[in-house]
């Protein structure tokens, strides 16, 4: 997490003028980096929307960038996504049994969120795509795009990549499930 704070080269990449301009045009507001995550191998994360983790008010002001740091091979925990799913209604805590109350987070909140996502995918006809990227390829996605990491099926494989999450400036940012504010340094 946050390797951009340790590397001048990574910091220059994530704050590159052209990237900032493109993301700002797509969101309709200036952006600022919230988080960077570097992966050595595939995350194997279940299908999800970033909006449940990094939520904005008003909704829709988070954008993500995925950068391949090597050629990505099948079996390495390839990033998958569902084109068009970003147009679905946001799935937030009122939409599934989260078990939370004013003082405590429910024990199965995220498990129940994942079940809700699976139900939504069953009811829709989105085609699952895999991002078999070449080194240097970039995928930019909307915060509500359903995506995740495939299982790793090839032993000793890597999936070196970097994910960047940018908020639009001047919007409220928080973590939907825990209701904690997202603080930007």
Distance separating alpha carbons of residues 53 and 47, to the nearest angstrom: 13
Q: Model confidence over 11-58: pLDDT tens digits?
A: 888 888 999 999 999 999 999 999 999 999 999 999 999 999 899 999
Cβ(36)–Cβ(14) under 8 Å?
Answer: yes
Residue found under tokens 């825990």:
178
Distance separating alpha carbons of residues 36 and 50, to the nearest angstrom: 13
Q: Model confidence over 141-172: pLDDT tens digits?
A: 999 999 999 999 999 999 999 999 999 999 98
Q: Is the pTM of this model over 0.85?
A: yes
Pairing of strands 172-175, 161-168: unpaired
Among 50, 61, 33, which Cα is nearest to 168's? Answer: 61
Q: Which residues are 47's β-sheet partners?
A: none
**How high is the pLDDT of residue 19?**
95
Radius of gyration of the chain (CA): 16
Query: What six digits make up the tokens of 117?
Result: 């996502």
Domains in the chain and their CATH numbers? 3-181 (2.60.120.620)
């Amino acid at each position: 997490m946050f390797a951009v704070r340790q590397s001048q080269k990574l910091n220059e990449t994530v704050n590159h003028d052209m990237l900032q301009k493109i993301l700002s045009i797509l969101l309709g507001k200036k952006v600022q980096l919230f988080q960077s995550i570097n992966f050595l191998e595939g995350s194997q994360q279940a299908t999800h929307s970033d909006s449940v983790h990094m939520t904005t008010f008003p909704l829709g002001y988070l954008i993500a960038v995925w950068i391949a740091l090597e050629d990505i091979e099948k079996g390495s925990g390839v990033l998958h996504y569902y084109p068009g799913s970003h147009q679905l209604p946001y799935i937030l805590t009122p939409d599934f049994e989260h078990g939370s109350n004013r003082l405590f987070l429910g024990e199965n909140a995220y498990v129940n969120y994942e079940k809700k996502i699976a139900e939504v995918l069953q009811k829709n006809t989105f085609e699952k795509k895999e991002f078999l990227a070449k080194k240097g390829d970039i995928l930019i996605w909307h915060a509500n795009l359903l995506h995740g990491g495939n299982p790793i099926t090839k032993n000793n494989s890597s999936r070196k990549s970097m994910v960047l999450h940018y908020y639009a400036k001047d919007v409220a940012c928080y973590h939907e499930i825990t209701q904690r504010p997202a603080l930007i340094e």
